[in-house]
Structure 1
Amino acid sequence: MTVLCIGGAHQGKAALARALYPALPLVENLHRRVREELAAGRDPMALLNTLRGHAVTCDEVGCGVVPIDRADEAYREAVGRLCCALAAEADAVIRVTAGIPQYIKGEKPCT
């Protein structure tokens, strides 16, 4: 099973993922890993294979003012493309706001 939890910073994505999917390994802050991959000159899409079978959290970075700096714009695009690819494969995609889950894809697991 693969789960993607998205939302704003500090909205409770990791806590929710731990509570709902305790058996899945948790990968937090995918947006930061994308920045690290870009800084190292690697393609962030290569992370997709390693994310399968995990609960993954990622801050939404595509909302708001479009960056003037080309590198920041490329970063936002890379995060968005990776999240789109992961969401397409994921069993569940959850937007988390103020700790409250909104299921975009899939259903709440029976606990």
Structure 2
Amino acid sequence: MTVLLIGGAWQGKAALAERLYPALPLTKNLHQMVRQTLAAGRDPMELLPALRGHAVTCDEVGCGVVPLDPEEERYREAVGRLCCALAAEADAVVRVIAGVPQYIKGGTACI
């Protein structure tokens, strides 16, 4: 099973993942992994195979003002594209707001 949990910073994504999906390995902060991968000159899509079978948290970075810095815009686009690819494969996609899950894809759970 693969689960993607998205939402704003500090909204309780990791805590919710640990509570709802305790059997899955937890990969936190996909957005930071993308930044590190880009800094190393690699394609962030290379991360996709290693994320399968995990609960993955990612901050939403695509909302708000488009960055003026081309590198920041490239980073934001890379995060979005990787999340789209992961969401397409995931069994569940959950948006987390103030610790409350909103199921975008997959079943709901009572917490």
Into which bin does the TM-score normalised by the smaller protein fall?
over 0.9
- What is the letter of the counterpart of residue 18 of structure 2? R
Q: Distance in 2 between matches of 1:74 and 1:42?
A: 13
SS of equivalent to 2:10:
coil
SS of equivalent to 2:38:
helix
1:109 is displaced (CA, Å) by: 4.6
Match status 1:58 vs 2:58: yes
SS of equivalent to 1:102:
strand
Match status 1:14 vs 2:35: no
- CA-based RMSD of the aligned residues comes to 1.1
* Correspondence for 2:82: 82
TM-score (norm 1): 0.97
Q: Distance in 2 between matches of 1:47 and 1:69?
A: 24
Give a deviation string over 1:34-60, Cα, whole Å, max 9, x none: 000000000000000000000000000
1:87 is displaced (CA, Å) by: 0.1
* Correspondence for 2:48: 48
| Sequence identity (%) | 77
